[in-house]
Amino acid sequence: MPKAIERVALQAQALALRTALALPQPVRRAIAGPPIRIDGGELALDAQLLLKLQHLSGNRNLSAPTVEIARAAMLQSTHLLPHAPVSGVSVGERRVPGATGELAARLYRPHQLTEPGELLVFYHGGGFVIGDLDSHDDVCRFLAKHAGVRVLAVEYRLAPESRFPAAFDDALAAYRYAVDNAAALGSSPGAIAVGGDSAGGNLAAVVAYHAARSGLPKPSLQLLLYPAVDATKRRRSRELFGEGFLLTDRDMDWFMDHYAPDVGERGDHRLSVLLADDLTGLPPAYVVTAGFDPLRDEGRAYAERLAEAGVPVIDRCFDDLIHGFANMRPAGGRFGEAMFEIAGTLRAALALRV
């Protein structure tokens, strides 16, 4: 009975959210409240409305009293937004080798793609503690279809069961697998990109860095969606947006305390790639940040350092959006616009190899 009650409550929340998103703009503004302006930017109405509804529902943090509760909450959140699976994409379940055992993976292939081409190895976000293939299924389907690229999404061991550098080790093993099995995946060793969001963006960046330094074939591109790239420093954006914009200051501490509880390890370039002495020779990068995100400034700093090192960089900040906006795409509106832009830019960047 309790589970049945939980399902009904979840369905009611989903219905309320979908109803609110479909209301006329003046009504949505009345619910969301006056525009929020910070640091020269104005929060998109769609983002403000989602945050207001999240606040009213009592779901205010990505962290939780226990890891199990946080993971369940993230999974539930994927069912709250309007949802219809992206059409025109074939999805196959796979098992790929990790550092210490097999990892779950999915290969997404857009139906229009029949010839060998680019492959994007994608790592999901979730602070190295939460998230999985299901939480980022929509993101991967959308990128596959609208960027015209095969996507190999891979899971990795999560903390606190497996702490730093376990996630990095698995991410690198998955990339090696993709390189070694490129033909079977519909690609070639020189046409494999890496990408991810938040913690997954971190893994994509450190895999790209390690590949460039270890003799592995370099990724053709690194797609970094609001990446975490420095676990040692509190930047201004964390002070400005550390409360009330989905990813909170408390969440960030909670995630890092689970993944890398030894503070002395947090400057390791396998976690804080922004601190690496030399970034020359890395693959071209498409770095996406959000204006109302505590991670904004470190993402922008990484894009700047890459450019200074002579790495071709597309540096795009969506000034009016929040952390995690890629997962909010099913809500449409500003989230959908941003993801269509990202997919279009990714398609062009892969075609040109920047």
Output the CA torsion 301→304→306→308 (10° steps): -140
Report CA torsion sign: 253, 51, 301, 148: positive
CA gap 134, 234 in Å, rounded: 31
Are 187 and 118 within 8 A, CB to CB?
yes
257 given a catalytic annotation = no
Of the candidates 63, 187, 198, 237, the residue annotated as catalytic is 198
CA gap 271, 73 in Å, rounded: 26
Helix orientation angle between 333-352 and 137-147, rounded to the nearest 10 degrees:
50
CA gap 167, 169 in Å, rounded: 5
293 given a catalytic annotation = yes
Q: Cα separations (Å) of 109 from 91, 95, 104, 121, 267?
A: 7, 16, 17, 12, 37
Of the candidates 268, 293, 297, 320, the residue annotated as catalytic is 293
323 given a catalytic annotation = yes
- CA 69 from chain centre, in angstroms, equals 20
Question: With 0-12 CB in 10 A as exposed, 13-18 as middle and 19+ as buried, what is 40?
Answer: exposed
And the tokens for 104? 């779950």
Of the candidates 124, 136, 146, 323, the residue annotated as catalytic is 323
CB contact set of 83 (below 8 Å; sequence gap of 6+): 138, 330
CB contact set of 198 (below 8 Å; sequence gap of 6+): 125, 126, 127, 225, 226, 227, 228, 247, 295, 323, 324
Residues forming the active site:
198, 293, 323
